[in-house]
Amino acid sequence: FIQTSPINMANYYFNLFPEEIDPIWFDPCKDQRHFKIWSSKKSCGQLPDVIILGPQKTGTTALLTFLDLHKSIKVSKKSPNHFEETQFLSGKDYFNGLDFYRSYWPPQNNSDTLQIDKSSTYFHSELAPRRAYALVPSAKLIVLALEPGERAYSWYQHQRAHKDRTAETYTFDEVLEADETSMKSLRDLKKHCLNPGHYSQHIEKWLLFYPSSQLLLADGNELKRNPVKTLQIVQEFLDLETLDFAELLVYDPVKQFYCVRENNKKKCLGKSKGRKYEEMSQRARQFLNSYYKKHNANLVRLLKKISKELPSWLEALSQQNE
Ligand code: A3P
């Protein structure tokens, strides 16, 4: 019998099983053994029923803001970090533990409401699919797919607006032209512009865990043009009582986006959503069309395989290529 401290024992254990150093959280309420020792002060149900995965710059804030008008939707509290998103499943906050995540929703869960976590870094995260499925295997997942070239350019403009030195110094064309001889910050910016738009590749990572019936691929371009239609599709997917968004949303010709109608006024999203910038160059457009050709073809194949509708922009592209 060897007497040693718990810390020494833990060190010994994790030396043997280093892959277990990172915890993986499960829902204590779904496991009888855990539930029996779950504090009576804690309530079940403080976890998301719906996760909007992203990616960034596809209209995720607009979708969340509009869905929040529905009485059966409970959006997570705004995080003071990470641009108001929880980003729990993709980032370091995961190590703060389950109670930290649960505190994003009120303790008294009304079973008629659907709780949402919208964190646009989840989509392309390597860690989030496994973590999400362990914790909330029955959650419904929403991905917003904006034409990926448009998304890439929006991300570049976002970085410029946030005074990223590289984005301020180099034009979008120069970013796209970066290669292995370019400096790291330029290569990184190019990667961040392009990588989240590899839609099929990222969706497949989520489908390793979740059944395709729990995933909706919503159309980011349609959300800009006709949010009422997109919200109708989302409401059906979430089995929500139908709210007539045509009554609640109104187009603002100055903002050039849909806004919420509020007492004869329009409440639009903030300055950082729906920015004004010049169109990308022809050269950038051609680069992006050719860069995403293979990825888009893979997305068509994947969506057909799982019997999902193609977003409008992808349908148009696939008809052009026939
Ligand atoms: P731009 O500012 O580049 O136009 P996200 O919230 O995922 O970061 O996405 C931001 C993008 O949402 C904006 O990018 C804008 O194009 C898009 N968007 C869609 N509907 C919108 C709306 N009603 N109001 C403002 N932006 C909207």
Catalytic one of 30, 36, 42, 57: 57
154 marked as binding residue: yes
92 marked as binding residue: no
Report residue 207: phi and psi, to 5°. -75, -10
Question: Is residue 42 among the annotated active site residues?
Answer: no
Question: Average of pLDDT values for 232-256?
Answer: 96
Answer whether 25's CB lies under 8 Å from 134's CB. yes
Is residue 206 over pLDDT 90? yes
Question: Average of pLDDT values for 206-228?
Answer: 98
Report residue 74: phi and psi, to 5°. -125, 110
pLDDT at 110: 67
- Among the atoms of ligand 1, which is closest to the Cα of residue 157? 3
Half-sphere exposure (CA, 13 Å, Cβ side) for 117? 28
- Among the atoms of ligand 1, which is closest to the Cα of residue 64? 6
Region of poorest pLDDT, from 45-49, 61-65, 133-137, 256-260: 45-49
pLDDT at 168: 97
Residue 97 burial by Cβ neighbours in a 10 Å radius (0-12, 13-18, 19+): exposed
Higher-confidence residue: 161 or 2? Answer: 161
Q: 245's torsion region: left (phi>0), alpha (psi -120 to 50) or beta?
A: alpha
Nearest CA to ligand 1 atom 14: 274
pLDDT at 264: 84
pLDDT at 291: 97
Q: 101's torsion region: left (phi>0), alpha (psi -120 to 50) or beta?
A: alpha
**What is the C-alpha to C-alpha distance for residues 271 and 171, in angstroms, rounded to an integer?**
22
Q: How far is the CA of 160 from the centre of ligand 1 (A)?
A: 16
Is residue 95 over pLDDT 90? yes
Q: How far is the CA of 118 from the centre of ligand 1 (A)?
A: 14
Q: How far is the CA of 192 from the centre of ligand 1 (A)?
A: 18
Question: Average of pLDDT values for 290-312?
Answer: 96
Of 65, 157, 268, 273, the residue with max ligand 1 atoms within 8 A of its CB, to mutate for a pocket test, comes to 273
Mean pLDDT for all residues in the chain: 94
Q: How far is the CA of 256 from the centre of ligand 1 (A)?
A: 11
Give residue 1's pLDDT band: very low, low, confident or very high (50, 70, 90).
low
In whole angstroms, what separates CA 6 from the centre of its chain?
A: 39
Is residue 81 over pLDDT 90? no
Report residue 119: phi and psi, to 5°. -135, 110
291 marked as binding residue: no
In what side-by-side order are the strands of the sheet with 257-262?
249-252, 257-262, 265-267
Read off the pLDDT of residues 157-185 as tens digits, 9 standing for 90 and up.
999 999 999 999 999 999 999 999 999 99
State the complex-level ipTM: 0.99
Give residue 143's pLDDT band: very low, low, confident or very high (50, 70, 90).
very high
Is residue 43 over pLDDT 90? no
Is residue 322 over pLDDT 80? no
Identify any residues that bridge with 145 across adjacent strands, giving them in sequence order.
219
Q: How far is the CA of 76 from the centre of ligand 1 (A)?
A: 20
274 marked as binding residue: yes
125 marked as binding residue: no
Is residue 321 over pLDDT 90? no
pLDDT at 111: 74
Higher-confidence residue: 45 or 122? Answer: 122
What is this structure's pTM?
Answer: 0.94
Pocket of ligand 1 (CB under 6 A): 56-62, 120, 154, 157, 223-224, 257-258, 269, 273-275
Read off the pLDDT of residues 261-293 as tens digits, 9 standing for 90 and up.
998 899 999 999 999 999 999 999 999 999 999
Give residue 67's pLDDT band: very low, low, confident or very high (50, 70, 90).
very high
Is residue 109 over pLDDT 90? no
